[in-house]
A and B are shown apart, each in its own frame.
Chain A
Amino acid sequence: MFDALGLIFAAAGVALFVAGTAGLLRFPDLYTRLHALTKADTLGLGLVCVGAALHWGDPLIALKLGLIWLLVMASSTVLAHLIARAARRDGVRPWEAE
């Protein structure tokens, strides 16, 4: 039961990663790509972590997975901010639809 549920969560997470990667490759400028990337990192990884926690069914492992998720979220958020800030300083203009 937990296994099947875990699989569903993990699959959803992987799907988000795929979507994020597609966005990274297809989106027109730095800011939109950053947007795609961070979504995948935060929500996708969170789903994979939940899936893994369900799969193992051990609260200690779940705690560790939660910590991993928090750390990745914190660092990817800050990194996205830093990259966007540096890009704005360097004068990279956001894309506008023609």
Chain B
Amino acid sequence: MTASALDFVLAGGLVALGAVLLFSHDLFRSLVLFVVYGLLMAVVWVRLGAPDLALAEAAVGAGVTGALMLAAWHRLPAAGRRAEGVVSGPWALLSGVALAGVAAALIGVLAGLDAQREGGLQQQVLARLPESGVESPVTAVLLNFRGYDTFLELGVLLLAALLVRLGGGADFGLGAKSSSVLRGLADWLAPLLVLTAGYLLWRGGHAPGGAFQAGALLAGAGILLALVYPPGADGRPAGGPRAFARWTQGLRLRGLLSAGFLVFLGVALALLVGGNLLQYPAGWAGALILLIEAAAALSIGAALLVLFMGVAGGREAGAP
């Protein structure tokens, strides 16, 4: 299919946005443009027929990563907010020329590839879909055909949470005095986010959605509550959110973080008794995948929240 004018605008806009955000002299502008870049990317994913990715990109790529970047900006030392510039000299020139050459060569290869390309795995995935225990092809690849990758990816997330926690700043709450209007919004938005997370988790079996998108929403709810209910800030009665934040400390938080990984690992090893690593027995695939996804969504939510707090935590007072 040939590209339309809209595609040229989208692709060109994406590249231009990338160039501007990478070489802007205003760091804050770069960060804001990065969020826009993520959202534009989500539009591209929809255009390319990948709504799962659009959801994940908007929630994780633009949402969580953008929040991380902005949180980091607020904690920069005063001298670190400016001091912009570009390294120049022969090495920079050389790398620029080399990368331009690489880009040209790769586009040349892609153009040659365009004519004669193998079909990929789509046919095989669709043929085996009935055996996979789920109806959504992407979920089938993620949790059945290539479940081993997804399992390890949970390991990567767990490691990152562990490492970010090591740097201190593991305390929840940003110590900020928040607006009562924001609190009002959070009070009814947080339960809605949790509900939507559950919906996305269930929906992942047959349509775009799944554990990662659900986990990102859970993390969003957590971040919102942490912004609004800083521990020990003012005299508001300790409601559910704060009780939950108090409860999830230390051992319980670490347990929550590793629950998804441990459940996945347990299933993988237990299945070795009767078959291969992570080979679901006939008829059990759907139930086991749901079990893994539920545990994984909780852990992903907790891990993303910990990542955010690790970057944003320990900040001095100032209204959000």
* Chain A positions near chain B (C-beta within 8 angstroms): 71, 74-75, 78, 81-82, 85-86, 89
Chain B residue contacts of A85, Cβ below 8 A = 179, 319
Chain B residue contacts of A78, Cβ below 8 A = 181-182, 184-185
In the complex, the answer to whether A81 meets B181 with C-beta atoms within 8 Å is yes
Given contacts A81-B181, A81-B182, 14 further A-B contacts (CB under 8 A): A71-B189, A71-B192, A74-B185, A75-B189, A78-B181, A78-B184, A82-B179, A82-B181, A82-B182, A82-B319, A82-B320, A85-B179, A85-B319, A89-B319
Q: Could you tell me the distance in whole angstroms from the C-beta of A33 to the nearest C-beta in chain B?
A: 15
Digitize B180-213: 1 where CB-to-A-CB distance is under 8 Å, 0 elsewhere.
Answer: 0110110001001000000000000000000000
Closest to B178 in A: A82
Q: How many residues of B contact A (CB 8 A)?
A: 9
Chain A residue contacts of B320, Cβ below 8 A = 82
Chain B residues touching A, majority SS: helix
* Chain B positions near chain A (C-beta within 8 angstroms): 179, 181-182, 184-185, 189, 192, 319-320
In the complex, the answer to whether B319 meets A75 with C-beta atoms within 8 Å is no
In the complex, the answer to whether B319 meets A86 with C-beta atoms within 8 Å is yes
In the complex, the answer to whether A74 meets B179 with C-beta atoms within 8 Å is no
Chain A residue contacts of B184, Cβ below 8 A = 78
In the complex, the answer to whether A74 meets B189 with C-beta atoms within 8 Å is yes
Q: Could you tell me the distance in whole angstroms from the C-beta of A25 to the nearest C-beta in chain B?
A: 15
Chain A residue contacts of B185, Cβ below 8 A = 74-75, 78
Residue with the greatest number of chain B CB neighbours at <10 A, chosen from A75, A82, A85, A89: A82
Q: What is the count of residue pairs linking A and B with beta-carbon distances less than 8 angstroms?
A: 22
Q: Could you tell me the distance in whole angstroms from the C-beta of A6 to the nearest C-beta in chain B?
A: 20
Q: Could you tell me the distance in whole angstroms from the C-beta of A89 to the nearest C-beta in chain B?
A: 7
**Complex alpha-carbon distance, A75 and B320, angstroms:** 14
Q: Could you tell me the distance in whole angstroms from the C-beta of B35 to the nearest C-beta in chain A?
A: 14
Chain B residue contacts of A82, Cβ below 8 A = 179, 181-182, 319-320
In the complex, the answer to whether B189 meets A81 with C-beta atoms within 8 Å is no
Residue with the greatest number of chain A CB neighbours at <10 A, chosen from B179, B184, B320: B179
**Complex alpha-carbon distance, A82 and B320, angstroms:** 8
**Complex alpha-carbon distance, A78 and B185, angstroms:** 7
In the complex, the answer to whether B179 meets A81 with C-beta atoms within 8 Å is yes
| Nearest 9 Cβ contacts at the A-B interface | A78-B185, A81-B181, A86-B319, A78-B181, A78-B182, A82-B179, A74-B185, A82-B182, A85-B179
**Complex alpha-carbon distance, A79 and B236, angstroms:** 22
**Complex alpha-carbon distance, A78 and B181, angstroms:** 7
Sample 22 A-B pairs with CB under 8 A, ordered by A number.
A71-B189, A71-B192, A74-B185, A74-B189, A75-B185, A75-B189, A78-B181, A78-B182, A78-B184, A78-B185, A81-B179, A81-B181, A81-B182, A82-B179, A82-B181, A82-B182, A82-B319, A82-B320, A85-B179, A85-B319, A86-B319, A89-B319
Chain A residue contacts of B319, Cβ below 8 A = 82, 85-86, 89
Q: Could you tell me the distance in whole angstroms from the C-beta of A64 to the nearest C-beta in chain B?
A: 11
Chain A residue contacts of B181, Cβ below 8 A = 78, 81-82
**Complex alpha-carbon distance, A82 and B228, angstroms:** 12
**Complex alpha-carbon distance, A20 and B79, angstroms:** 36
Closest to B320 in A: A82
Closest to A75 in B: B185
Closest to A90 in B: B319
Q: Could you tell me the distance in whole angstroms from the C-beta of B106 to the nearest C-beta in chain A?
A: 36
**Complex alpha-carbon distance, A39 and B106, angstroms:** 45
Chain B residue contacts of A81, Cβ below 8 A = 179, 181-182
Chain A residue contacts of B189, Cβ below 8 A = 71, 74-75
**Complex alpha-carbon distance, A82 and B319, angstroms:** 9
Q: Could you tell me the distance in whole angstroms from the C-beta of A52 to the nearest C-beta in chain B?
A: 14
**Complex alpha-carbon distance, A81 and B179, angstroms:** 9
Residue with the greatest number of chain B CB neighbours at <10 A, chosen from A78, A81, A86, A89: A78
Residue with the greatest number of chain A CB neighbours at <10 A, chosen from B184, B319, B320: B319
